[in-house]
Amino acid sequence: MPRIRNPILPGFHPDPSILRVGKWYYIANSTFEWFPGVELHRSQDLVHWETLPSPLQRISQLDMEGNPPSGGIWAPCLSYADGLFWLIYTDVKHWTPRPFKDANNYLVTSPTPEGPWSEPVFLNATGFDPSLFHDDDGRKWLVNMEWDYRKEGKGHFAGILLQEYDPIQRRLIGPMHKVFTGSPIGMTEGPHLYKRNGWYYLVVAEGGTQYDHAVTVARSRSILGPYELHPGNPLVTSRGRRDLYLQKAGHGSWCDTPDGRTYIAFLVGRPLPGTDRCILGRETALAEIVWKTDWPWLKEGGNLAPDGFDAEVERKEAPSIIEYSFSDARFLLDFKTLRIPFQEPMFSINERAGFLRIRGGESLQSRHRQAVIARRQEHFSFRAETAVEFEPFSFHQMAGLMYRYDELSQFYLRVSFDEKIGKCLGLLVFEQGRFRLPLGENEIPLPKGRIHLGVETKGKDCQFYYSLDGSRWKPVGPLLDASVLSDDAATPLGFTGAMVGMACQDAVSRSAYADFAYFRYQVLP
C-alpha cells in the first residue's frame, strides 16, 4: 500500500476542519487577513486535493479593513446537516497586546460547497475557534473557547462553552454551559464535538500554536459533561521531540470513511533545516485513527505526529512549474488579496486584455487598502517571477514583486522613481520592523517598458533578480534571510506563512497603475 508523506496541504494551511459528505472529503483552513476568507479543498481519496472557491467572497460576509496582522479568519468549522453546508468562523478584529481579544463569531450556510453562501449570522464574541455540532436528536450546539481577560498566561483560556443554536430563529438560545476546562497541558481552544456509540467526544487544541501544541480528547455520555480525559492524552503531538520531521502538531478534527475507518486532520510545521523557523507556516497533515474501548488512538502507535499515512492510491506529483496568465480569473484559486476583495478599479483583468492591472493602494504598512495579491510559498526552495509595465513619476509610486509575511516582515523588489535618475529599481526590506534600503542611493536606472522581476529562495537564502529581456538575469541587492518571514520570527507572534506576489502603491493620487503580464511559480531542487 502506498505511503503518503505529510503534509497533504503544504504551506500556510492551518487549523483544518475535515468533513465527508458522500464520496467527497472537504477541508476548511484559516486564512487570517487574506481575502477571500477560508481556504476550501475537496478530495475523493484523501491524497489529491482540489482547491474550491473560498466561501467568504463578499464584504458583507467579511469586512477586514483595519484588521491586524494574523487577525481576520481564525479556525473555521465546516459541517453538513439538513441538506446544507454550515460554516462557522471567527473574524478577529484585535488580538494583541493583551488583555482583550475582539473575536466575532459568525455562521453562513450553502446548499453546496461551491456556494452561493448566505449572509452571515452573528453568534457571539466570548471567545474564538467556534464550531457547530448537529446532534442526532436534531438540536444544534455552538462550541467555542472562552477568553478571560482577567487572568494571566494560560488562565486566559478559561474553558469550552456550549450553547444551543436555533436555526429557525437564527440565534443562540438558552444558557451557556462551561463543559470542559482543559487538561494539564492548558491553553484550551479549537474545540470540535462528535458523537459515536453513545459517547460525546470533545476534541480540542492545547499547548499554544508553537512547539508545545497538541490535540486533546475527552468524552462523556452527556453532552453537558462531565468529560473524562483520554487515558493516553494527548492524542497527537510533537511536544518534547524537536528531532521530528513534523513539529507543532495540534488542532485536529476527524471524519469517517464510507467503510468505517477514521482519519484525523491536524496542523503541523516544518522548520527550515538548522533553524526553529517554519517559513511555510502551519500546514495540514493526516493520520489514521483506530478505536479501542471507545477511545481513539493513532494507528501508527503512540501519540507523536506520524510523517505520513497508508493510502490506496499513489500520489501524483504536482507540476514543478506553474504558469499563471491573466486572460481569465482561474488564477484567483491560488491567489489572495490583502484584507480587501479582488475587484475593480484596484484590480482588473478587463482593462487590458491578458494583463493584471493593479492600481496603487496604500503603503506597505497600511492595515486598510493595500493593493497586494499573492500566493502561498509551498516549498523550501522555489523561484517566483513576473513582468511589469509601470511608468512612475514620483518616488511615492511603486510596483513590483512582493515576498512577505506581514507588515513588519517583508521584502519588495519595486520599480519606482528617483529625482536624479528617473525610473529605477530598488529593494525595500522590513525585518521584524526594521526598515532598510539595501541599495542606498545606488538604485538601478531603468528604461521605459517591461521589466522582469524574480526571486529565488533556497532554504533561508533569498536572492532577488531582474531582467530587461526575460532571459538574462542580474542579481539585485544582498542575500536576504527568508526565515524572518515566519510565525516564529513574527513580533509578537504570527499565524500565517510566507506569501509571494505582486503589488502597487501610489501615495500621490491612488490612481497610477501597473500592468503585470504573467506570474510563474517554480519548485527548485
Catalytic residue check, 15: yes
- Quickly count: other Cβ atoms within 10 Å of residue 43's Cβ: 18
HSE, CB side, 13 Å, CA atoms: give it for residue 162.
Answer: 22
Is the four-CA dihedral 34, 38, 42, 45 of positive or negative sign?
positive
Cα–Cα dist 33/30, whole Å: 9
Phi and psi torsions of 471, nearest 5°: -125, -35
Rounded to whole angstroms, the Cα distance separating 487 from 517 reads 32
Task: Measure the CA–CA gap between 165 and 439, rounded to whole angstroms.
Answer: 58
**What 3-state class would DSSP assign to 102?**
strand
Contact 4, 315 (CB under 8 A): yes
Angle of CA points 377, 383, 384, to nearest 5°: 75
How are strands ordered across the β-sheet holding 282-292?
Answer: 247-256, 262-269, 282-292, 295-298
Q: Which of 15, 91, 407, 506 is catalytic?
A: 15
- Give catalytic status of residue 189 as yes or no: yes
* Residues pairing with 106 in the sheet: 89, 122
User: Per DSSP, which regions of 242-392 are E strands?
Assistant: 247-256, 262-269, 282-292, 295-298, 308-310, 321-324, 335-338, 347-348, 356-359, 371-376, 381-389
Q: Considering only CA atoms, which of 337, 282, 373 is closest in space to residue 36?
A: 337
Catalytic one of 33, 91, 189, 515 = 189
Q: Which residues, in sequence order, are bridge partners of residue 455? A: 384, 464
The CA distance from 86 to 467, in Å, is 48
C-alpha cell at 20: 465527508
Instruction: Please list, in sequence order, all residues whose beta carbon lies within 8 angstroms of the beta carbon of residue 383, skipping any fewer than 6 positions away.
Output: 454, 455, 456, 457, 520, 521, 522, 524
Q: Side chain identity at 501, as an amino acid letter?
A: G
* Chain position carrying cell 467556534: 130
Q: Can you say how many angstroms the Cα of residue 205 is from the centroid of all Cα atoms in its chain?
A: 17
3-state secondary structure 411-473: EEEEEEEECCCEEEEEEEEEECCEEECCCCCCCEECCCCEEEEEEEEECCEEEEEEECCCCCC
Q: How far apart are CA 16 and CA 39, in angstroms?
A: 10
Q: How far apart are CA 119 and CA 125, in angstroms?
A: 18
Show which residues are catalytic: 15, 189
